[in-house]
Structure formats: C-alpha cells, structure tokens
C-alpha cells in the first residue's frame, strides 16, 4: 500500500459478519464466501472501532494499542483490506 494503513479511514465491509470468539473472531465475507480469522481480541476491538474514528491510528489509540505494537496492527489492517474484510472510507 502506498499510504500507511494507519493513516487511512476504514470500515468493515458491509458484506462481512463478525462472530466474536475467545481467540478473537470469525469473519465471514458473504460476497466472496470466504471465512477468515481475527487472531486476537485486540484486533477485533480495533476493527469494531474503525468506522467511528478519522484514521486507523486514532482507533488504535482509543483501543489501547501501544506504539511498539503499531507496525503489527498496520500489517494486519493492510492484510484485512487486501482480502476485502475492510474498505477504505472518506475521512470525516
């Protein structure tokens, strides 16, 4: 991605349903019929917070992701976008 995933505004794709689990969540995309896993509760919290914050970085701050962990979550968001679980939206 040319622009940092953390600097962008995201939302869960409207075709995706999340089911919370102890390990994180199951994510099912009804458009692609693909089942994916969010492998931590923190990533689930982040994904749920994306659409109410102007950037993914702001959402990270809100859910308590520390500076040292940001690269890991940036890679996770980039991957979620790549497989169509999240979509970019216009920043407010």
| Domain presence at residue 77 | yes
Residue with tokens 């931590």: 40
How many structural domains is the chain composed of?
1
Residues 6+ apart with CB under 8 A from 24: 37, 38, 39, 40, 41, 43, 44
CA–CA gap between residue 75 and residue 4 (Å, rounded): 10
| Domain presence at residue 40 | yes
Residue span of the structural domain in which 52 resides: 5-84
pLDDT tens for the chain, residues 1 to 92? 346 899 999 999 999 999 999 999 999 999 999 999 999 999 999 999 999 999 999 999 999 999 999 999 999 999 999 999 999 998 65
**pTM score above 0.75:** yes
Residue 53 sits in a domain of what CATH number? 3.90.930
**What is the structure's pLDDT at 2?**
43
**What is the structure's pLDDT at 91?**
60
| Domain presence at residue 58 | yes
Could you count the other beta carbons within 10 Å of the beta carbon of residue 41?
A: 15
CA–CA gap between residue 42 and residue 49 (Å, rounded): 11
| Domain presence at residue 89 | no
**What is the structure's pLDDT at 90?**
80
In DSSP terms, 11 is beta-bridged to: 87
| Domain presence at residue 92 | no
| Domain presence at residue 91 | no
Query: 73, 39 in Cβ contact below 8 A?
Result: no
């Amino acid at each position: 991605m040319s622009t940092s995933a953390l600097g962008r505004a995201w939302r869960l794709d409207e075709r995706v349903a999340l089911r919370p689990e102890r390990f994180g969540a199951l994510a099912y995309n009804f458009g692609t019929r693909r089942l994916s896993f969010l492998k931590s509760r923190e990533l689930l919290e982040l994904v749920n917070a994306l659409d109410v914050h102007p950037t993914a970085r702001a959402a990270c701050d809100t859910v308590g992701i520390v500076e040292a962990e940001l690269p890991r979550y940036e890679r996770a968001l980039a991957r979620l976008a790549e497989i169509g679980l999240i979509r970019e939206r216009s920043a407010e």
